[in-house]
Structure 1
């Protein structure tokens, strides 16, 4: 165990470089768990580390890739594959993040006496500009971390809508007859001044419905950060996720710390990266939650690729009812990033006639365009992709 401790610490550093929230508590828990499993059983060894060092289901894939790379031989530096054989962008995202974390651990630091190198930046594109247009699925661990920081800075204002309530206002456009008569009673019934009032306006509720099935898992990882940022930036935000069932995660996302919030989400989410039943999830939302959260001109963001494994059963009826219950139903679809996108899947064809807008969501630019659209007032016209 004494020889194993330095390797556990080094493995924890690799996981942190890959974007996993691993600290001293996880390393101590892993050391204690390894005292109860035989070192000769590789799968038991892996299971003990994963149970103590990983808190979210969406980190399992990155952990497995890092485990296979590190515990094969941690003393040998891991070199990237030959680019002539296979382009790096075609590697799985988890493998790329784990490989970059291993490379970061094995690269020596440059000496202090090395002369500073200057590079001409003319006719080049900045890293920040590249990050804005880079697909979430193609991002490295470092780029994902920077993208998450950019998402936390996004502000999502919605145009205010009039409510049924009024407030006293000396310059208000309406006469407050009740307040005027009440004031005249103090003067024996003589009206000395006319009270006025103004209608109260407030932003409408925002409802987020995010697909976390297998086909959406990699996008859902970073879109959950978008949902967390929105939930902590404004009031009356209701967040739901669905795969094979619908789960309300509104309270879990209220925590200011994203890692604490996502850990709470992982504890209540039973179907991450599983199947998809969009029609059943929307029908359950319509029956149990629509009347509670869709009042006062609510805006609904439906985040899914529309690939329903149940053959889109009941999806058209549920989407139609949802569309009639809200002011705007905006479908965010990562598949729209493809130039040759065609609505051939049954789920996509069932959803399209009932959404007010069909937008792409696959990089930071698409999220910024969404924020700009929601910030602008005006009613959307129905259109199809």
Structure 2
């Protein structure tokens, strides 16, 4: 085993491995010489596995080592060995010619591409774009169904609020003292790092109120479909409808099937397509439901055209109370959005001063704007807490011919 020719062969074998890029040190060659004294040199498999275990340190060199081993130990000493080389690196490989106008023209010249007539559609709108610009009042039943499917593709989410609860956060601003004690009790010593925490965030509750009176009959079904989509997309949503009385339809709209949910809601509401008493219905909501649902910075959304047969002063009082109870009050009007629009009806004129966001709801684009507004609602100036006995103080009297210029937000 200590024969000079054998040692020379091992050195030449290590040199051959290094020439193809396999790192082999003299110490590894010496270890291989000592290891071969413990194996049967007549067994080629034992010699191969021993040499591979000592000389190969990278997985990607296994195949290359086997090739060099078979070539080297097959030839007698002194004969040149043609050793393979590594494949070129990706940066050294020739680049494939990309697609250009010249290559496309050469491909067309071969006659392999079938000629086709393509109609010129430049300057035209797709059906979806045309549908987004069309008013709901002018849509056919098929277009309303397509609009409902398009609404479901929107990303419906309410803004988030900072809660009082804390959650672990490595980059938090506070040290988690309870976490420090837990780590110290588990390790029996102070931890190597101080766990931190931050205040958790949670989605704001959303309260939906829709007008289903006679003046809103053409929009009522689409509005309820919108409410069903919002309930399926977000958590902590309450839905109400009103005409001459207030009705809660949250359990009905929780059904997965939209047609069945709308049928159950229509069966539950008794004043569908009737008169309108917005002030009285909002008063019923403020007395019965506000303490239950207007919590933790709720967002209230009212969908109505503002036509009211009740007292405008009573509506203004209830609107002021509702605005101070919620975090944000959004009003959607299907007639708004036109440059010539003005709230000429007494109910809309009385409610508008207490609305935080007055948005149109006349087409798909306006609903997309509403979705963006709902997601980016942030905390504003803190309103003073008021009671129901203080609501009527300081409210100006609203006459039936009062007009406010509408400014698109």
TM-score of Structure 1 vs Structure 2, range by shorter chain: 0.5 to 0.7
1:95-110, aligned counterparts within 5 Å?
none
Structure-2 separation of matches of 1:290 and 1:277: 18
Shift in Å at residue 350 of structure 1? 1.1
Compute the RMSD of aligned alpha carbons.
Answer: 2.5
Contact 1:333 1:360 in 2 (8 A): yes
Answering whether residue 350 of structure 2 is matched by residue 340 of structure 1, we say no
Structure-2 separation of matches of 1:142 and 1:249: 26
| Cα distance per residue 1:18-39 (max 9 Å; x no partner) | xxxxxxxxxxxxxxxxxxxxxx
Q: 1:323 to 1:384 in 2, by over 3 A?
A: farther
Contact 1:151 1:225 in 2 (8 A): no
Shift in Å at residue 118 of structure 1? 8.5
Contact 1:204 1:296 in 2 (8 A): yes
1:24-43, aligned counterparts within 5 Å?
none
Structure 2 equivalent of residue 298 of structure 1: 298
Structure 2 equivalent of residue 324 of structure 1: 324
Shift in Å at residue 377 of structure 1? 4.8
Structure 2 equivalent of residue 177 of structure 1: 177
Structure-2 separation of matches of 1:169 and 1:384: 48
Q: 1:118 to 1:353 in 2, by over 3 A?
A: same
Answering whether residue 284 of structure 2 is matched by residue 284 of structure 1, we say yes
Structure-2 separation of matches of 1:144 and 1:187: 64
Query: Tell me, what secondary structure is at the counterpart of 1:324?
Result: helix
Query: Tell me, what secondary structure is at the counterpart of 1:123?
Result: coil
1:98-177, aligned counterparts within 5 Å?
120-177=120-177
Structure-1 separation of matches of 2:333 and 2:200: 35
Q: 1:186 to 1:368 in 2, by over 3 A?
A: closer
Structure-1 separation of matches of 2:151 and 2:187: 59
Structure 2 equivalent of residue 258 of structure 1: 258
Query: Tell me, what secondary structure is at the counterpart of 2:335?
Result: helix
Q: 1:180 to 1:279 in 2, by over 3 A?
A: same
1:18-29, aligned counterparts within 5 Å?
none
Structure 1 equivalent of residue 79 of structure 2: none
1:306-317, aligned counterparts within 5 Å?
306-317=306-317
Structure-1 separation of matches of 2:169 and 2:122: 57
Structure 2 equivalent of residue 28 of structure 1: none
Structure 2 residues not aligned, in runs of 5+: 1-116, 384-403
Shift in Å at residue 170 of structure 1? 3.9
Structure 2 equivalent of residue 237 of structure 1: 237
Contact 1:162 1:202 in 2 (8 A): yes
Structure-2 separation of matches of 1:375 and 1:292: 23
| Cα distance per residue 1:340-364 (max 9 Å; x no partner) | 2222222112101101011110111
Shift in Å at residue 197 of structure 1? 1.8
Query: Tell me, what secondary structure is at the counterpart of 2:262?
Result: helix
Q: 1:169 to 1:269 in 2, by over 3 A?
A: same
Structure-1 separation of matches of 2:320 and 2:171: 42
| Cα distance per residue 1:331-384 (max 9 Å; x no partner) | 101121443222222211210110101111011111011112222354579997
Q: 1:194 to 1:121 in 2, by over 3 A?
A: closer
Structure-2 separation of matches of 1:171 and 1:130: 47
Structure 2 equivalent of residue 107 of structure 1: none
Answering whether residue 213 of structure 2 is matched by residue 223 of structure 1, we say no
Structure of higher CA gyration radius: 2
Structure-1 separation of matches of 2:222 and 2:138: 12
Structure 1 equivalent of residue 73 of structure 2: none
Count of aligned residue pairs for this structure pair: 269
Structure-2 separation of matches of 1:250 and 1:223: 14
Shift in Å at residue 121 of structure 1? 3.1
Shift in Å at residue 313 of structure 1? 4.9
| Cα distance per residue 1:25-79 (max 9 Å; x no partner) | xxxxxxxxxxxxxxxxxxxxxxxxxxxxxxxxxxxxxxxxxxxxxxxxxxxxxxx
Higher RCO (CA-CA < 8 Å; seq separation 6+): 1
Contact 1:357 1:380 in 2 (8 A): no
Shift in Å at residue 185 of structure 1? 4.8
Structure-2 separation of matches of 1:281 and 1:152: 29
Structure 1 equivalent of residue 48 of structure 2: none
- If the length of structure 2 is used for normalisation, what is the TM-score? 0.61
Contact 2:210 2:303 in 1 (8 A): yes
